[in-house]
Amino acid sequence: MRVTNRLITPLVLFSICISFFIFRNIEGFGGLPFSDESGHFLGVLAMQHGDRLYRDYIDAHGPLVFMLSWILGPVAGVSYLWVFRFVSTFMASLAGLAIFCTPLFTFNWQRYLATAMWLGSIASVWTVQGLNLDSYWPIGGALTVISMATFVVPLCLNRPVSMSQAFCGGFATALLPFAAYAFGPLALFFYVIPCVIGVFSHATYRETIKGVTLGGFCAFLVMTLWLILYGDIGGMIAFHIIANQKWYAHYIPFGVDAFLHGMELSFTPARIIETLAVITIGLGSILLVWKSTYKICALLALCGLMTLQIRGMDGFQNGAFLMAAFALASLMISACLKNHPHILSLLACGSIGGIFLSSQHALSSPWGQTLEQRRATGWRLTQNDSVDFARTIRTYTRPDERILAVPYSPDVYLLAHRLPIKKYHAYLPWEADYAAHPWHGYDRDLCVDLPKNKPPAIYFDSWIIWGVHDPKKFMSCVVNLLRTDYTPMPAGSSVYIRNDRLPHSPS
């Protein structure tokens, strides 16, 4: 490829943004731990010891994050848990590659600038919005971007999509519901687009529709086979879909009011990144509808993207919406300015710089830290497993024995180097609700199971969930059992040791 004057600036910016993205990922590897992510690490470790996902290790999140983390399990082990964060790095890199290879662009400099804009933008907020974490929102965001770049946006603009691009897009789209069932409506909207276009131009897009369908089928087959081998499909339905939609949904903002709240503009430190996402998706949406040959398909795509914000969150939970918003703007601006490389270069520099400066003003999520606090926290790849509670647990339990930490402290297991008892690594109010109304025989009631299998150690945190839900009320059975069969070690601590493990059991 001959490097022309038109390519020099895009290449330089592309190289800078790639380097910045790599730097931010390295920074993210040593970032603060987060309980949701720790639950994913713990699940993989449990699966390495024979547990099956959604049967022996039950978690509310979708299976895809566990499958991707499971692949890295032999490398990470217990000693290198930070390696699991390569999942989000890998997925974001695939999304960047999809933007670079999109059939939307005519010139190579468009590819460099669009990719630079997106990578530079998400790198700016990588650790601020928790995109570095091994969780479903960066995975879902990356899959959304891959789908948009490979077939959704190109089809709306009547650009030819190759069989391989259609296959990759269909594969990514089918994985969305496995990242989180809440991404299911988005996947449905995306799949409808080639079908609608096929009605008008069936012969032209026959191969594209075949590719999207084949990719979707292959992704569904891969996930189904993995769940059959390492998980429980019925358990996934019960604990990821039914429990979340029927019970957890009552505890969180959800619906039209939450969506409208999430779309409000505010430049306060807590909401400035979300505001940038709203502005960029607004700009990208206008350009998409304006430039689309198939307006109805553009509207379907936008309706799908809006479902990512149905909870109206402005913190780390909006990661998928944020990544998709930046991608839509990057794709559409680069497509619209194909005859103005210098203007696009200036716009790319300005947008990345603006997002970066905004990130310096923002509070981080989920930790709520200012820039000064983030700098003071430092960088570390491992946690200190010599803390008192971890040493106490190791003193009174064998490595092959399992413990319980409730209501929600996944890090306790990781620091103590102990696995959770079967079916329970946490117990929260909505899980108690599910226990009273189990789905098709998938029973899970701690008050029934714990007395039958009392672990040698229990870590009980009296944390009142969100300042509202007292564990002493929704899991009073555990409190009663601790009072009769366990002793706090040392007195007043959160670690309770079963009485028969103590040298002199209390009378």
What is the three-class DSSP state of 405? strand
* Residues 297, 154 share a domain: yes
* Residues 413, 369 share a domain: no
* 329-352 average pLDDT score: 94
Banded pLDDT at 507 (limits 50, 70, 90) = very low
The overall average pLDDT reported for the chain is: 93
- Kindly report whether the global pTM for this prediction surpasses the value 0.75: yes
Query: Which of the pair, 375 or 331, is modelled with greater confidence?
Result: 331
Q: Encode pLDDT of 98-153 as tens digits.
A: 999 999 999 999 999 999 999 999 999 999 999 999 999 999 999 999 999 999 99
In terms of C-beta density within 10 A (0-12 exposed, 13-18 middle, 19 or more buried), how is residue 206 classed?
Answer: exposed
Percent of the chain exceeding pLDDT 90 equals: 82
Tokens at residue 167, please? Answer: 């296959």
Domain ranges, residue 494: 388-501
Task: Report, in angstroms and rounded to the nearest whole number, the Rg of the chain calculated over CA atoms.
Answer: 24
User: Is residue 200 domain-resident?
Assistant: yes
User: Is residue 142 domain-resident?
Assistant: yes
Q: Domain boundary at 342, 374, 406, which? A: 374
Phi and psi at 362, nearest 5°, equal -80, 155
DSSP-derived pairing of the beta strands 457-460 and 404-406: parallel
Instruction: Report the distance separating Cα 140 and Cα 324, nearest Å.
Output: 9
* Residues 279, 396 share a domain: no
From 447, 404, 396, select the one nearest 422 (Cα to Cα): 404
* 439-452 average pLDDT score: 96
Number of domains in the chain: 2
Banded pLDDT at 4 (limits 50, 70, 90) = low
Q: Encode pLDDT of 37-65 as tens digits.
A: 999 999 999 999 999 999 999 999 999 99
* Residues 393, 264 share a domain: no
**Residue 432, pLDDT above cutoff 90:** yes
* Residues 298, 173 share a domain: yes
Instruction: Report the distance separating Cα 194 and Cα 162, nearest Å.
Output: 13
Instruction: Report the distance separating Cα 488 and Cα 500, nearest Å.
Output: 13
User: Is residue 258 domain-resident?
Assistant: yes
Q: Which residues contact 274 (CB under 8 A, 6 or more apart)?
A: 262, 266, 313, 314, 315, 318, 322
User: Is residue 382 domain-resident?
Assistant: no
Identify the pLDDT of residue 5.
63
Check: CB of residue 173 under 8 Å from CB of residue 143.
yes
